[in-house]
Every structure is written in structure tokens, then in C-alpha cells.
Amino acid sequence: MTLSVRIRCQLFRLAAVTLALLFFGVLSGAPAGGLLPWGAPWWGLPFFLGLAVLAERRPLLLPRYGAMSLAGPAAFAVMILYGPLATVCLTVTAGLSRFLREARERAIEPGFVAYSLAQGMLSYGLGACLFHEYGHRGGWPLAVLSMAAAVVTTFLVQSQLVAIHQWLEQGMVGLRSARVNWERLRLYLVAVAPLGALLAVSMMINPAALALTLAPLVVTYLSIKNYTDTLREAREVVESLVEAVERREPHMVGHARRVAAYAADIARELGLKEPQVARVATAGRMHDLGKIGIDESILAKREALSREELDLVRCHPEIGAQVAARLSLSREEAEFIRYHHEWYDGGGYPYGLRGQSIPLGARILAVAEAFDTMMTTTVYACQRTSADALEALHEGRGTQFDPEVVDALTEALNKRRKFSLPSSTCA
């Protein structure tokens, strides 16, 4: 009997939670599992717990690194001073604080909360065990190497748990998306873990040293948060503009969101790294932003457009790119928007680029947009099914579309087992 995807995921979550509880029990019973194994001040642990709880209430959302907070340095400080058991306790406490904040914004499945906490317990706990075993045996070179190994262990364990879960949930496409965020790992190695070590050393000197270390760190953290909040609000404004454009064409509602999803699948199938995937998806959500400047009567027109109207419509990629660039999108994302109507053979617009001179992200958007448009509009000779749309894309390989990108979309959809490519039913 084949288990459903939901049952498989639930069983895996249950196994992870059970393993985390057993791990916690082992740490609690270990001779060195006490909360104060290294003679650190007793007040340090509640201090770092409180810092982690407060930090998780106001996380930073960094475009290339994901959610970050001062809970990270606090966890590594506790790892150094108080050992594995205390590190696990802090991880759980910080995780609960994060989920309590998120529960105010959206419904969260309790099973997912338990699994996420178990994931943190296992990853940070195993990293702490490694540092606990080797970090205090020699001088500072061994301690530094042990901390680096602890960070890498934490990330690898976490990424593997995520990969297994997404493989059970989405198959190979999910597995491709569950990669280690190497940029985030580098940030932890060069900044987060060293900050944790600095906090630990400051605490061992005296409370005044800790305050002098923490004060500029908190000020910098809050300044960065204000900036990222402003950036997020700007992007929300852009997405609201995109929704306004879609409402002017009722048959296109949800088009940008779907294009972004298809584009992300294609990018992963082509082997792009997650930061690149995110940039392609962001451009996908904004690709028709330039239509905000086109009169609604032209967008809704059923008969053939005049030369002047067609020229106006063909300006929308350039307009969209200019607006996106002014609203804090990267230059690369703006270029994806600017060139997403170029053809692989040079027959597109606005500049008639061809082949590899068209940015890869723009070639991905061209395929993703065409696929969704063929299934959601009525401008074609017959109603397109997913198989018909894929066949039309294959007919355009090498002319309108990059052959590798078309093949990547086909492979991604087949791996999801949602589509196949039978003969078209169109005449």
C-alpha cells in the first residue's frame, strides 16, 4: 500500500520529534549535561534566553540570507559557555517565541511547529556537542576550528532534514530546492558565530564589558531592521501595483504569482542557486508592472491593435524595468523584466536581442509567462490544456524560446507528476 504524501510527511515529522526528545533525554542525563558546565555566571543563561526571545520578535528579513536575528549570536554564546543542553533549551525557547509571533499573522499547524523545534534541537544540539567535545581541549586555534565545525554541522543537519521533508512532499523538485544556503553559512562563519564568541568572552570579563559589546550591536541591528522593513514595504507596494494591473485584465488575475512559481521551478531545474532562483521569481512577480501605464481600453481590446497601440504595449517591459529599478529591485531583476519579451532567434522586442545575449532570467520568464498565458487566456485558436501548452512551447524551441529552458520546464512539471506531454488536441 502506497502512503499519501501527507501521511509520509507526518510520519517523518513524528520521527524527527521523537529523535529530538530522545536526544534531549540523553543530554539531560549526561555527566556534562548540566546547565553550567564551564563555571560561567549563573545569570548569563537567563540573559541570553531573554535576548533570544526578544530578538525573535523582531527578526531581520535579509534578501540573500533569509530571516536573521540576535538569537543566532546568543545561541553560539550559550554553546561556548553553557554546553549542549543549554543550547537546546535556548533553541526551543527562541523557536517558540518566533512561532508565537507568526501565529498572530497566520494559522500554523501544531505538527509543523513541533517538527521545526525538533529540527533546531537536533541541528544546534549536535553542533554544540561537537564544540563541547573538542573546543575546550586546547588553545584558541582548536577552539576556533571546533566552532567552525559546529557551525557547519548545524547547517548540514538542518539542510538534510529540510531536504528529506521536501523530497517526501514534492519529489525531486522539492529536493533540488532544499539546498544549503552557502551565503547564509558564510555569514554565520564570519559574523554570527564570532559575535557569539565575543559576547561569551565579554560576559566572562564582567557585566560592563558585555554591555559595551552589546549596545552598539543592538543599535546596528535595529538600524538594519528599519532599512529592511522599508525595503519590504517598497516591494509590497510594487506587488500591490501588479495586482492592480491584473484586475484591469480579469482573465489575468493570479498570472504574476503563477509565472513566478513556474520560473522558480525552471531555475532550480537548470541548477541555479537559491539566491538566483529568488531573483528570477521576484522578477516573475513584477514582469508586467509596466502595463500600469497602458490604457485599460487597449488591454481589454479584442480586435487587432493599431500600430500605435502595439508600439505602446511593447513599451511595457522597459517601463516595468525602470519602475522596478527605482523600487529597490536589483539591476539583474530589472534586466529580466526588460528583456522577457525577447525571442531566442532575435525576433522579439524591445531590442531584438538573440540567443545567449538575452539574460538567462529573461529567457526563463519568457517560457514561464507563455506557458501560463496559453492556459489562462482565450486569445488562442482553441482552449489550451497543459499538454497543449507544453507542445506549443516545444514547437517554439530555438525560435521564440531557449530550448534548454523549455526542456527544463517540461522536466520540472513531469517530476511533479502533474503534467505529461501527449499529442495536442488543437487542430
Locate CATH 1.10.3210.10 in the chain: 238-415
**pLDDT score of 75:** 94
Query: In the block, which residue shows the cell 509567462?
Result: 369
Separation CA 401–CA 44 (nearest Å): 60
Residues 6+ apart with CB under 8 A from 157: 122, 123, 126, 127
pLDDT for 132 beyond 80: yes
pLDDT for 32 beyond 50: yes
Among 148-162, 171-185, 315-329, which stretch is predicted with the lowest mean pLDDT?
Answer: 171-185
pLDDT-derived band of residue 3, with 50, 70 and 90 as boundaries?
Answer: low
Check: CB of residue 337 under 8 Å from CB of residue 283.
yes
Separation CA 118–CA 18 (nearest Å): 8
Residue 39 φ/ψ region, left for φ over 0, alpha for ψ in the -120 to 50 degree band, beta for the rest: left
Amino acid at 233: E
Q: Under CATH, which architecture does the 238-415 domain have?
A: Orthogonal Bundle (1.10)
pLDDT-derived band of residue 54, with 50, 70 and 90 as boundaries?
Answer: very high
- How far CA 139 is from CA of 126, 192, 378, in Å, comes to 22, 21, 72
Check: CB of residue 128 under 8 Å from CB of residue 88.
yes
Q: Under CATH, which architecture does the 5-205 domain have?
A: Orthogonal Bundle (1.10)
pLDDT-derived band of residue 260, with 50, 70 and 90 as boundaries?
Answer: very high
Q: Which three cell numbers stand for residue 349?
A: 522586442
pLDDT-derived band of residue 95, with 50, 70 and 90 as boundaries?
Answer: very high
Query: What does the radius of gyration of the chain's CA atoms come to, in whole angstroms?
Result: 26
pLDDT for 200 beyond 50: yes
Buried b (16+ CB within 10 A) or exposed e, 94-106: bbebbbeeeeeee
Locate CATH 1.10.1760.20 in the chain: 5-205
Record the pTM.
Answer: 0.67
pLDDT in tens, 361-393: 999 999 999 998 888 754 434 556 778 888 889
- In terms of Cα–Cα distance, which of 84, 93, 164, 160 is closest to 126? 84
Q: Cα 80 to chain center, whole Å?
A: 29
**pLDDT score of 375:** 80
pLDDT for 236 beyond 60: yes
**pLDDT score of 94:** 94
Separation CA 21–CA 3 (nearest Å): 25
pLDDT for 311 beyond 80: no
